[in-house]
Chain A
Amino acid sequence: MARSTRSPARLIVALSVAGVLAVFLVYTALTGTTPALQPSNLVGHPGTVSLTGKVVGQVTGDAHNPTGLHFELHNIQGKSPIVPIIYHGSVPDLFESGRDVNVTGELVGGSFVATALTTKCPSKYTAQV
């Protein structure tokens, strides 16, 4: 096997890394990220946000009716303001009062209008005794 004094390997590596970084930086600069908030720090964030909290009180309405599904969220841990949620769409498994959920949407006139709702998986590592 001949030894080459001028290997293109380093150039390939350098160009590839530079290319990757350029694509990456341009992409992250151009595309928006979504703020992930809790009820306690929701105020002052216009536009679409992801809100995580615990469902408190009664769940009323119907997610497939124009009035929507109504429920309220507060922080999973500690005290916080209660945020009223209006949701239209498919209701995920195990959704009920007391569950930790994540909603995506925006604050409109004091209510959070959600377009996506996910129940946190009440899986293995949650003590239930």
Chain B
Amino acid sequence: MLALYAFVVGSVAARSKRRRLADSARNALIFAFFSTLIAAAILARALVQHNFTFQYVAQHTSRDLSTVYSLTAFWGGEEGSLLLWLLVLTGYAALAVTLNRRLLRDVVTWVVPVMGGIATFFSFMLVAVASPFVTIPRVVDGAGLVPSLQNPYMVAHPPLLYLGYVGLSVPFAFAAGAMLSGQTDERWIVATRRWTLAAWTFLGFGQLLGAHWAYLEVGWGGYYSWDPVEIAALMPWLVATAFLHSVMIQERKGMLRVWNMVLVAFAFNLSLFGTFLTRSGVVNSIHSFAKSSIGAWFLGMVVVSSLFSTALIIWRLPLLRARTKLESALSREAAFLYNNLLFVALCLTLLWGEVFPILTQYVDGYQRTMGRPYFDFFLRIFGLPLLLLMGIGPLVAWRRASGRALLRTLRWPLGASIIAGIALVSIGDGSSRPGLIAYTFSVFALTAIVVELVRGTRATGSLFELIGRNRRRYGGYIVHAAIVLFVIGVVGSSDYSTTRERQLAPGHSMTVDGYTVTYEGLSHSLSNTVSGSSVTTTAKLAVTGRMHLKMGTSSIDSSALGISRMVGVRTDWWRAEDLYAILDSVQGKGPTQTAFIIIEVEPLVNLIWIAGFIFLGGSLVAMWPDAREQRKLATRLSLARA
């Protein structure tokens, strides 16, 4: 009711410019957060206390589940996830409208009903479609949580994704507020920059945690499978990345104003559309939660939200005209534009890959799916030029650059990448052409970042002072460095990995890429819980060669859940390489039992996870409050008001 009040009364107040009524609507939105907090506390208490009179608690926890994992069941189910979504949404809304109530009074007056409208949708879903507070006759024990989900990564991965998805509603609401109020200058972008950056960071880091969980827990040796659920999270992140770049052009040059409105609306609608795709069951996913009752509602919300955003942008086109125009195709502005086009093109091809099966369902009567080759192809087509642009963009001059000056600026990155390319071919890395190109481009981009840092450090005398003086810019460079490391890790572990599978008797060995792995036999352990019994079979392995160590890989046969595997992973940090072992199956009985073992050598895979922390650090630097930036902002705002 509070959200509905904020939506309806906020709209009336904004339209009639009644300040007290607008304050009342804003307060309703803030109190909607506190009332959602109370509901969340009730559900959390029920989960921790195993109150099985709640159907949700019975479906997602069991008595033997630890307190931490009982709490994580909050977002382990659809209904709880929706409550978390509403909690984060109202929390963000309360904070955003409170912090900006004086700075952007006219815009915030319209932000309140927009956020209120979104919160009303989620409140309706919780009350009418998927409530976590449905009661049932008390049961003795609950269904529990799948063992692979009882993992620290799964504690953080889903809420981080929600923080990201929901966070995109703040810049969307401010963009809509700016258009509704007619205040379409750059202030809304400045006010929401950190919100967008935070949402983007959560979404990016959340996806990376999910990938690491899959790598360690799912037992197939990979971390990303281009599943529709994974793509649904990637698409808004790509568009938000484009937006974070293009807002710099709007702030500095007053260009791309329509484009930015389109991007922010597209990112928000993609977060809703992704939820529709993954919950409606219209696409084939390995995630079994891909079929539920909320999908159609989300589709409805996407339609309403898309029509609303499109109508607003068309209505306000006269106010969104660019103050200046692009002067040269060889300039920093143009580099940002190319970057944006590539990000959006990549996102659209992914979206096409998601929607194509649904369309063929209507034409052929059955779905035709785009497989991994389709997604890999477009990732290379758009991703490799993006990598190159990451190196060129920061070094090219604003307004207009000459080819000769650019070549002079790029001489170090160019030289380093050519030397790296020759070196890589000479050591045999030319076996994968896309891999070789990606490595070479990575060296180019990384050298460009180093050149920028060295040049800046020479000017200021200290690297820390340099970063402190322009946190946004150098935080961005740190993020760029993280992306380059990420790419190197992905290329190394996908294009240059080695896999061997063999059935081994005790004492027998297999050699994989410089490692000799000897199977020493099996050990068994039995455990009993309220939910049932499970037998853990562990294959003991001795590794010699590049590393000398003992390791194990297990198979857990649970009476309740079937067979799941625990992979064995040992890391060689000097090479950032993993030796990855999977116990696939066991044959025979007694001491001569043979085991089918899969061994994978994953070069540079750990750079992916290291890159995640650098990405986080860079984002924090870029987000950190900056007195110099605040002064610039004050000047810009006074100019905008004048």
Task: Write the residues of chain A forming the contact surface with B, with a CB cutoff of 8 angstroms.
Answer: 1-4, 7-9, 12-13, 16-17, 20, 23-24, 27-28, 31, 33-37, 41, 50, 52, 62-64, 90-96, 99-100, 102, 118-129
Contacts and interface: CB of A to CB of B under 8 A. Distances in A.
A8 B149 contact: no
A26 to B, nearest CB: 11
Given A33-B370, A50-B284, A64 B596 contact: yes
A96 B562 contact: yes
22 contacts: A1-B324, A4-B325, A8-B329, A12-B338, A13-B337, A20-B348, A24-B349, A27-B374, A33-B369, A33-B370, A37-B366, A62-B585, A62-B587, A93-B218, A94-B562, A95-B563, A121-B287, A122-B146, A122-B288, A128-B143, A128-B144, A129-B59
B327 A4 contact: yes
A27 B218 CA distance: 32
A103 B335 CA distance: 44
Given A9-B337, A36-B357, 8 more contacts: A13-B337, A24-B378, A37-B366, A90-B501, A94-B564, A123-B288, A124-B77, A129-B58
Contacts of A20: 341, 345, 348-349
B370 A125 contact: no
B233 interface: no
Contacts of B59: 127-129
Contact of A8 (B55, B292, B328, B381): B328
Nearest to B253: A1
A121 B366 contact: no
* Chain A interface mostly: loop
B585 A27 contact: no
A99 B562 contact: yes
Nearest to B327: A4
A108 to B, nearest CB: 20
Interface string B300-339: 0000000000000000000000011111110000100110
Interface of B: 55, 58-60, 76-78, 139, 142-144, 146, 148-149, 218-220, 253, 284-289, 292, 323-329, 334, 337-338, 341, 345, 348-349, 352, 356-357, 360, 364-371, 373-374, 377-378, 381, 399, 501, 503, 561-565, 582, 584-585, 587, 596, 598
A36 B366 contact: yes
A39 B328 CA distance: 58
A30 to B, nearest CB: 11
B368 A12 contact: no
B584 A64 contact: yes
A37 B368 CA distance: 9
Nearest to A48: B371
Contacts of A125: 77-78, 288-289, 292
B226 to A, nearest CB: 13
Contact of B338 (A16, A90, A95): A16
Nearest to B284: A36
A124 to B, nearest CB: 5
- Which of A7, A92, A128 has the largest number of chain B CB atoms within 10 A? A128
A16 B218 contact: no
B609 to A, nearest CB: 22
Contact of A7 (B325, B369, B373, B582): B325
Contacts of A23: 381
Contacts of A124: 60, 76-78, 149, 289
A93 B356 contact: no
A34 B60 CA distance: 35
Contact of B366 (A24, A35, A90, A99): A35
A16 B340 CA distance: 11
A94 B369 CA distance: 24
B341 A16 contact: yes
Contacts of B148: 93
Contacts of B565: 93
A76 B289 CA distance: 14
A95 B219 CA distance: 13
Q: Which 10 A-B pairs have the closest CB atoms?
A: A125-B289, A128-B143, A9-B326, A33-B368, A7-B325, A36-B367, A96-B562, A120-B288, A93-B564, A20-B345
A126 to B, nearest CB: 5
A126 B288 contact: yes
B369 A36 contact: yes
